[in-house]
A and B are shown apart, each in its own frame.
Chain A
Amino acid sequence: MKFLDEFQDPRLVKGLLQEIGSLAKRRVTFMEVCGTHTMALNKFGIRAMLPNRVDIISGPGCPVCVTPMNVIDAAIEAADIENVILATFGDMMRVPGSSSSLEAEKALRSDIRVVYSAMDSLGIAEGNPDREVVLLGVGFETTAPSIACTVLGAARKGIDNFKLITANKLIPPAMKALLDAGEVKLDGFICPGHVSTIIGSEPYEFIPREYGIPCVISGFEPVDMLQSILILLRQIDEGRSGVEIQYSRSVKPDGNQIAKRFTSEVFKIVDSDWRGLGKIKASGLALSERFQEYDALKHLGIGLRESAEPPGCLCGEILRGVRSPPECGLYGLRCTPERPVGPCMVSSEGTCAAYYRYSGGARE
């Protein structure tokens, strides 16, 4: 298939791996912060093909994993209301809240529907005028514009039975928080591909500028990821740091202006709670004043409660790249994809799920 197959060419992969082998002179640790990168690394078995001295760790790139438990609890509370239809992206269904999950609540007859696109929830609202349709909006900057379009669509068509639980987050502030915490020594960032098609390269400039760490915006095919690793190694070798775009076929320096405009029209930036990372300044989105009427939690009178992590769950450290899945005492034993305890195991992009799936639950 065009523009996929060529970026999986085994001959290019071989050439890139050879060059990586000769350019990687010392131990380096790169972090990726994108769920799709986590999956791609595992799906193609890339880590095993890299030399030992090149270590790729996974950061908080899975939006499902960083959604705090109390947001899931609030969504469950909303879904339990007689008149409400809760619309959610599929990945949120199995994430454990404090005592239940959307999947379990659906089995118990709450009207919870999986939507593939945010717009679908608007269609459900139009088709059910006497019900309240609440969309659980989880995602990063990639999803925000489509949710913004959905809210604008509701406003334009006068659909007042559509409401939103805004749980969108922003990646660059999380990257800054990780660097400031200083828990892991990083030699480079592999920046998210899809988020960057929206936000461009500028939002990452502060990383080389203030922290001296190289950044590369990478695509998702094996050739993309290996070329990106090579770009980081070259910067290190030449003693420079900057933001480079490897994924040039989809990412422009200023991103997608139209998408950014929709997002800033509907949302404002607020401080936000990240599961496992705590509160991060200016890292989340909330509905702007003009669109307050679409705020589901306010409208339904649901508050966000304090929630505690399940004991023994290391999702927080795993999300910060400080530990790897097999280091968690629950991994593979009490926490498995069939019976997940923490979000890193449930989400298809979660670090633990990807690790488990592609290395067979091994605890070595």
Chain B
Amino acid sequence: MKTASAPSQRGPDSVNHASAPALDYGRRRWRLGDAPAAILLLAPAMVLFAVATIYPLLETIRISFWDIQGLRKPVFTGFGNYILLFSDAGFRNTLLTTLWFTAGVTIISVGLGWVLAMLCALAPRQTLVFRMMFFAAFGISETVSGYMWTGIFRADKGGLLNSFIELFGFPDFAFAWLGNANTALWALIISSAWSAVGLPLMLIFAAIQSIPKSVLEAAYMDGAKPLSTMRFIMAPLSLPGVRVAVFINLLTALRAFDIIYVLTNGGPARATETVGYFIYRESMTQFKLGYGAAATIVLLVAFLIVSAPAVIQRTAGAK
């Protein structure tokens, strides 16, 4: 059974050659001389990975078991930081805010990116500049973007949004958008989504562009109208791009910090504090490095939970 099923996974060519799997196996088998060469080739990347990723990760895990406050002498506290973290009402609120923020940014950026990609797909050449402009926003640093949006949401008449509101004759609707708990969170979601919309646009557009022309032509020949083509062909076939965009934007939103730091500083009264900002505040402002490290590990676990299905699926696909 095993030998019979193996060829079928190798594609149509191997089905007709019973001996092919054995030959392939022989070709891939490592010789003793290959190992040193492989190690040598992998070494630079592995060293970099160890220094830049493994060491900081292990160090963060180590620190999370210590009570480090300011410049005082550290005290080993075991799981104390983790216990404290989950009994901290502020941290629980932060988790909820992170959930809203991440969901909001991902839904808006991917949704808008999908709509824009569909529109661009109708006239690919004519929308080149338009696509580039949207993608350029993705390249702007979050700090710069944050300062730009601060100018837009400014409380006084100098704020661009309030200026427009007054210009259109609704001065009573001018508001300190960043000073109210609800509007500040929405302001953050909108500004972050704006920065993030370029990537979904490009990924989904690329997915649409990879739809074979023959499929679209066949639909046309069968009398499908543009909306039907979009609904029944382009939309389903753009899903691989949507999946990747959701995955990337979800992870980016989950660890958001810069734009929150610039735009709201986590306020008012911590209403826009996400886990990323909480880690910064505890680690840097209050210099409780152990507590901040514990929160970092919790965020890392959240990352793994979110990314595990995609990683497993991708890895399985690679086999």
Q: Do A and B come from one complex?
A: no
